[in-house]
Amino acid sequence: MSATSLLKQHLQQRQLQGKTHVAMRPGTMEKLSGLGREPLVRAVAEPEPLRSLGAAPAPAARIIRDTPPPPETKKVELLEVAGATIEEKLAALRAMAETWEPALAMTGLRKTMVFAVGSAQASLMFVGEAPGAEEEKLREPFVGPAGQKLTAIIKAMGLDRPQVYISNICKFRPAMDNQGSGNRKPEAAEMRACLPFVLTEIDLIKPKVIVALGATAAEGLGIPGSVGGLRGRFHSTSGIPTMVTYHPSYLLREEKTGDGIRAKRAVWEDMLKVMEQLGLPISEKQRGYFLAK
């Protein structure tokens, strides 16, 4: 049998095996052109081995992945805590957070843990991003200027601060050079290190509605995007309706340098939806706040 016929037979066998490409040495392909028709299996030139550089001959075939493997998506495990009541379980969770190695090992996080505040029976839970200077001092979330704004929003909804539950994605204040009273947003890894806590808090309290304050808190809860694009409708955190709205710090900034009324109106529209979802009474006065005059 001639070399060309042998080659043809070989290609037919490869095709029967389901192969679509075969690697060949240069020169062999030219011989194939004498077969008189399109090769049954497409031939690909095998790269010349880099003999002059003393490299090992190139392998005859390589597997090329055209679809990268999907990114590893790790499920966040809830933390198991002992206790007969939700209050006791939350107390045990708080104690666990004090010595939480994954967060304490992060050089970007300071070491004072600020847990949460409010009712374990709350129907409404607010989630912020991380404690700031005042919060770290008093070891309570939202007690600084942004906290006062949040308290005013809660009051405008006809509720008192102790009736709701207020927490943060990140339980430690993000560190900065020359920190002073400065604050920065927690990074994704910093939020991830604390995420089991806020998710376990949600699992224990089972609020009817969650409000994510700002895009960082929303991202931490697994709702990525800008507040402008996310607000005004409910998303879901572990099956619980979640409203994303502007962070109170944004309202404070807008009051000073931007369109404070526009930002406040947007937050209030979101809170009216939250009140409806919770079945809270809404007075005419409440409906009328910020209506264009």
Contacts with ligand URA by CB under 6 A lie at: 128-132, 135, 141-142, 144, 146-147, 168
DSSP 135: H
The first and second tokens of residue 284, run together, are 């005419």
Q: What is the number of alpha carbons within 13 Å of residue 264 lying toward its C-beta?
A: 19
Min. distance of Cβ 131 from ligand URA in angstroms?
Answer: 5
Give the residue with the Cβ less far from ligand URA, 41 or 250.
250
Min. distance of Cβ 198 from ligand URA in angstroms?
Answer: 12
Min. distance of Cβ 191 from ligand URA in angstroms?
Answer: 11
Give the residue with the Cβ less far from ligand URA, 130 or 199.
130
Residue nearest to ligand URA (CB): 128
CB 123 within 8 A of CB 278: yes
Give the residue with the Cβ less far from ligand URA, 174 or 207.
174
Q: Which residues neighbour 67 within 8 Å (Cβ) at sequence distance 6 or greater?
A: none
The first and second tokens of residue 282, run together, are 């809404």
Min. distance of Cβ 21 from ligand URA in angstroms?
Answer: 56
Min. distance of Cβ 99 from ligand URA in angstroms?
Answer: 21
Within 10 angstroms of residue 15's Cβ, the number of other Cβ atoms is: 15
CB 94 within 8 A of CB 140: no
**How far apart are alpha carbons 255 and 182 in whole angstroms?**
19
Across 192-269, the runs of DSSP E, i.e. the strands, are: 209-213, 234-237, 240-245
Min. distance of Cβ 148 from ligand URA in angstroms?
Answer: 11
The first and second tokens of residue 275, run together, are 């009140």
Give the residues across from 118 on adjacent strands. Answer: 165
Give the residue with the Cβ less far from ligand URA, 146 or 240.
146
Give the residue with the Cβ less far from ligand URA, 8 or 248.
248
The first and second tokens of residue 26, run together, are 């240069």
Give the residue with the Cβ less far from ligand URA, 132 or 207.
132
